[in-house]
Amino acid sequence: MVFVIAEIGINHNGDLEIAKKLIEIAKKTGCNAVKFQKRTIEKVYSKDVLDSPRESPWGNTNRDQKLGLEFGKKEYDEINKHCLLYDIDWFASSWDLDSQSFLHQYDLKYNKIASAMLTNNELLKTVAKEKKQTFISTGMSTMEEISNAVNIFREYSCPFELMHTNSSYPMKIEEANLLCIPMLKKEFGCNVGYSGHEIGAYRVSLIAVTLGATSLERHITLDRTMYGSDQAASLEPGGLERMVRDVNGVEAIMGDGKKRVWDSEIPVKKKLRG
């Protein structure tokens, strides 16, 4: 079965009630897990970047905007309770060591390496030492950079799965390059999923499954017109429900590749072959 991850990320817009609604939607539509992201803003971004102007609901600088979107312990305690209540796993991609340490207080089954962090060897080693199943996004990365990350996780005997992705938001359909899924699987001898950032139809995700993707990650939102850089490339509840339904249908159609005579064919065989 394909492991479906509903990426909430920062689409909660700093509102815990929105986050809870998205968790409930993910569970209702049949997703396996929800994912957030955790960052120590002052460490991930330079002072110049944070001081630069940016209009947002939280203020007039990048710092105001990024702090407004960042959940702390109070919110994650509630997220943890809500996911337990709805019986759905959650995890988060950490963008720095402090954030990864922060996540230790929760009993999480999974880790996630964001594409932006693929070359952060210190973070990779810290995560790999935990030996939790880790999803590694490969956007904006060379084969050499991916190979380095794979080698680190194998050095620490940490189970992992690569995720083919394009890091532009939204992704242009002609840049999906889904044949990278079987290529990465062959090159590194591991499972490969797909993390999608395209606008509109989820057909790219369905094609990814036909090419062997073992996991799917899609951003979700209550409304694509809401404030936020990730909203437009997200699936609304109806789209998410249809995607999960159709992914399950694709798996049934693809079968197991073993040739057999089906019970439904036996009467026809007797009739036509005697």
* pLDDT tens, position by position, 65-106: 999 999 999 999 999 999 999 999 999 999 999 999 999 999
Half-sphere exposure of 228 (CA within 13 A, CB side): 23
Question: Using CA atoms, how far apart are residues 194 and 218, in angstroms rounded to an integer?
Answer: 9
Q: Tell me the C-alpha distance between 225 and 223, whole Å.
A: 5
What is the per-residue pLDDT for 231?
86
Measured CA to CA in angstroms, residue 19 lies from 4, 143, 222, 246 at distances of: 18, 35, 10, 25
Each residue's pLDDT tens digit, 15-60: 999 999 999 999 999 999 999 999 999 999 999 999 999 999 999 9
- State the average pLDDT for the chain: 95
Domain with 85, as residue range(s), is 3-273
Please count the structural domains in the chain.
Answer: 1
Q: Residue 167 pLDDT > 80, yes or no?
A: yes
Domain with residue 199: its CATH number is: 3.20.20.70
Copy the structure tokens of residue 262.
């089906």
